[in-house]
Chains A and B, each alone.
Chain A
Amino acid sequence: MGAFGLTLEDVGILWFTVRVALLAVALLVVPGVALGWLLARKDFRGKALVETLAALPLVMPPVATGLLLLKLLGRRGPFGRLWQSLFAADLAFTWRAVVAAMMVMSLPLLVRSARVAFEEVSPRLEAIARTLGAGEARVFGTVTLPLAMRGIVAGLLLAFARALGEFGATILVAGNIPGRTTTLATGIYGYVQLGQDDRAFRLLAASVAIAFFAVLLGETWLRRRRR
């Protein structure tokens, strides 16, 4: 028994969940921010389609998204096969599938926040930076990105929170395999199913603690940036 009466196994689940959620968000940073910027600043053919696809996981039942992911990542799915031929390993029902489920479910939240953040940066300021001799990369790095940073960080926080709590898609595509794919959410569900309510409640307490610290950290950072 460790702190808060958590067993070693509970701590393992907690640590696993935080790690995969962080990894999922880290893998999303670049594509999510890029997509947000693209939707905020560029007009291109098929923009409406990209917008819809990026928002879809938000409106679809997570379990349905999970089923779709299972078809794609499974042994006979296109991504599953590709991964098998490249790395001789499975995607579905491994920790990688947990990461994939978290990424898909969190992406819309990050893209949305980033997009709104970029839309709020005045194109006028970017134009002025150009008249001062700055190229596109410098304008983005010194004006656009810093001014959008608050919204982007808020989006990352949301995405992380969504990833931590991901259940529906995860349970379908990664299952609830103790020691391998069990996260806080699927763990709680599994323990309740088995009638081990005390273990479920310990995981619940751990979830609350993580959520609390993540939100506290994020809010503190945002307040500090507020000049």
Chain B
Amino acid sequence: MSLVLEGVRAPLGPFTLAVDAAATARVTAVFGPSGAGKTSLLEIVAGLRRPAEGRVVLNGRMLDDAAAGLHLSPRLRRVGYVSQDDTLFPHLPVDRNLGYARGASPAALARVADVLELPPLLHRMPGSLSGGERRRVALGRALLASPEILLLDEPLTGLDAPLKERVLAHLLRIRGEFAVPMLYVSHSPDEVIALADRVLVVERGSIALQGAPGEVFERSAEPGYTVRPHGTSAPD
């Protein structure tokens, strides 16, 4: 799989998002402090935000080409977007949320529900679910649209530690069982190290650094928000 962002520019209030990057790994993490433009980057790939300049190419398909005026509808992009806010359809029970995408077959639904341990929740309404349960349903719903890439915006934020572990375990299972590449936004080095094959470090809208998580993070550093670049590798 390949997601290529070529000269993508989008004004974001205090600064401009300016990204040139290619994500070819199974799991590519987008790492950086809050307000660095990570979510906007995902929204551009999902088609919810239109870049002012540049091109977005997914597996050879042009999703955005600002110069040519091309902006493919989110409907046709084949991207699964799991946002940070709660976006389950509140009027539909869990099974109908999961099966919302047209292509979701009952067999696929059963398999995804199994992997995410959702069967006991299938007939509940979203309003009665806990935060972790909602995340899992949102994840399953995105997966069932058979996306070419999963865009995950901080899927573990706001969960308490044991719940984080559980959802992380589910993410690892997804990584193993479904051949869906992921773009994974996070501001936690631990998550990035646990999940990602590659990491893009975003600061004030630009990619400050990229590489394997082991190279990018100094593993001995105390866990936290600070990026500690290894050696002197210049941003490319």
A131, A134, A143, A147: which contacts B77 (Cβ < 8 A)?
Answer: A131
Task: Give residues of chain A (95-126) contacting chain B, Cβ–Cβ below 8 Å.
Answer: 124-125
A132–B73 touching, CB < 8 Å: no
- Interface mask (B50-85 → A, CB under 8 Å = 1, otherwise 0): 000000000000000000000001110101110101
A-B pairs with the 10 shortest C-beta distances? A130-B74, A132-B101, A131-B74, A128-B87, A131-B81, A130-B75, A132-B145, A146-B91, A127-B48, A133-B101
B89: chain A residues within 8 A (beta carbon): 125, 129, 142-143, 147
Q: Is the interface of A mostly helix, strand, loop or mixed?
A: helix
Evaluate whether A227 and B125 lie within 8 angstroms (CB atoms) in the complex, with A127-B48, A129-B100, A146-B91 already known: yes
**Size of chain B's interface in residues, with CB distance under 8 A?**
25
A65 to B46, CA, bound (A): 50
Q: Which of A127, A134, A147, A227 has the most C-beta atoms of chain B within 10 angstroms of its own C-beta?
A: A127
Spell out A's residues near B (CB within 8 Å). Answer: 124-125, 127-135, 142-143, 146-147, 227
List chain A residues, Cβ under 8 A from B73. 130
CB neighbours of A143 from chain B (8 A): 89
The verdict on A133 contacting B102 (CB below 8 Å), with A146-B91, A227-B127 known, is: yes
Considering the chains assembled together, what is the distance between the CA atoms of A38 and B19 in angstroms? Answer: 36
Closest partner residue, chain A, to B91 (CB atom)? A146
Q: Which A residues are CB-close (under 8 A) to B102?
A: 133-134
Complex CA–CA separation, A40 to B222 (angstroms): 49
Contact of B103 among A124, A133, A135 (CB under 8 A): A133
List A contacts of B83 (CB < 8 A).
Answer: 124, 128
A1 CB, nearest partner CB in chain B, Å: 48
Question: Is B91 a contact of A132 with CB atoms below 8 Å?
Answer: no
Question: CB within 8 A of A131: which of B79, B85, B127?
Answer: B79
Task: Specify which of B80, B85, B100, B141 lies most central, judged by the most chain A CB atoms within 10 Å of its CB.
Answer: B100
B142 within 8 A of A: yes
- A127 close to B91 (CB less than 8 A): no
- Residues of chain B within 8 A of A132, CB atoms compared: 100-101, 141-142, 145
Given contacts A130-B74, A131-B47, contact A125 B100 (CB under 8 A): no
**Which of A129, A131, A135, A227 is in CB contact (< 8 Å) with B46?**
A131
Q: How far is the CA of A132 from the CA of B143 in the complex (A)?
A: 9
Q: A129-B100, A131-B79 are in contact. List 11 more A-B contacts (CB 8 A).
A: A128-B81, A131-B81, A132-B100, A133-B75, A133-B101, A133-B102, A134-B101, A142-B89, A142-B100, A227-B125, A227-B127
- Which residues of chain B come closer than 8 Å to A129, judged between CB atoms? 89, 100
Smallest CB–CB gap between A155 and chain B, Å?
A: 18
Task: Report whether B91 and A131 are in contact in the complex, using a CB–CB cutoff of 8 Å.
Answer: no
In the complex, A133→B74 CA distance in Å? Answer: 7
In the complex with contacts A127-B48, A128-B81, A128-B83, A133-B145 CB distance below 8 A: yes
Q: How far is the CB of B150 from chain A (nearest CB, A)?
A: 11
**B141: which A residues are within 8 A, CB to CB?**
132
